[in-house]
Amino acid sequence: MVAEGYRARIQPYLDRISRPFLGWSPNALSALAFGLCAAAAAVEAIVRYSTPLLFLAVTGLVFLGGVFDVVDGDVARKTHRTSARGDLVDHVLDRYADVLLLLGLAVSTYADPYLALAALVSLLLASYMGTQAQAVGAGRIYGGLLSRADRLLLLAAAAFLEFDLSLPWPWAPSAPWSRFHAGGAVFTVLDVLLVYFVVAGQITAIARARQAYRALPPTPSP
């Protein structure tokens, strides 16, 4: 929940961004955020058939998807249109976006598919623990190392680095700068990101489960 810690600081900017969309349905904004992330996933997938310079488009699409993922809730609160149905739609679309973004990385050839699968499991577990806490009466839990805002910002940053490292250098225009070597292993910036997703996602899931467990009343004695 690193990014969420700056929510108060960015709220004035969020107010400006949200203002033109106050007449929109929050569900439409949630759908727009999903559409942007789905487009980013599609671009990730076609990188293998094209050029890594497309990661610049991924950066922009993921960043905009993250912006509208915040704007939908802000608009709902400001226009008094928060609802259980809207919350459900938002979370369903968010999970589908997570799946598509990780699948796009898995087929891009710029990330290890097994790492992408492990990262997806960690992200889904972290999200599940937060909503399960709400389901058992402990309240929705957003805390932890890896909130949705964190992972979208990190993915946008990693995609930009893949784009930047893929640019030709004047003295070595054909060097694969986006590939790093450590012993016999070859990895990319996106591989490092996925490792972080695996570790931070598990830490977040366990922390949320513990927080929910402690918030629940103990089992009454027979």
Lowest-pLDDT choice from 3-17, 36-50, 125-139: 3-17
pLDDT over 50 (residue 178): yes
* Residue 72 falls inside a structural domain: yes
Please give the tally of structural domains in the chain: 1
In CATH, what number is assigned to the domain containing residue 130?
1.20.120.1760
Residue 172: its pLDDT value, please? 46
Q: What is the mean pLDDT of the chain?
A: 87
Q: Which amino acid, one-letter code, is at 104? A: G
Residue 6: its pLDDT value, please? 65
Confidence of residue 176 (pLDDT cuts 50, 70, 90): low
Q: 9-36 burial, b if ≥16 CB within 10 A, otherwise e?
A: eeeeeeeeebeebeebebbebbbbbbbb
* Residue 183 falls inside a structural domain: yes
Residue 3: its pLDDT value, please? 55
Model confidence pTM above 0.85: yes
* Residue 220 falls inside a structural domain: no
Report whether 115 contacts 195 (CB < 8 A). yes
pLDDT over 90 (residue 147): no
* Residue 192 falls inside a structural domain: yes
Residue 11: its pLDDT value, please? 81
> Bigger pLDDT: 125 or 181?
125
Residue pLDDT, tens place only, 18-47: 999 999 999 999 999 999 999 999 999 999
User: Domain containing 121: what range?
Assistant: 13-215
pLDDT over 50 (residue 171): no
* Residue 48 falls inside a structural domain: yes
Confidence of residue 177 (pLDDT cuts 50, 70, 90): low
* Residue 209 falls inside a structural domain: yes
Q: Which amino acid, one-letter code, is at 14? A: L
Residue pLDDT, tens place only, 193-216: 999 999 999 999 999 999 999 988
Q: Which residues contact 164 (CB under 8 A, 6 or more apart)?
A: none
- From its phi and psi, is residue 80 left (phi > 0), alpha (psi between -120 and 50) or beta? left
* Residue 99 falls inside a structural domain: yes
* Residue 36 falls inside a structural domain: yes
pLDDT over 70 (residue 182): no
Report whether 188 contacts 110 (CB < 8 A). yes
To which H or E segment does residue 152 belong?
Answer: helix 148-165
Residue pLDDT, tens place only, 51-109: 888 999 999 999 999 999 999 999 999 999 989 899 899 999 999 999 999 999 999 99
Residue pLDDT, tens place only, 150-164: 999 999 999 999 988
Report whether 176 contacts 96 (CB < 8 A). no
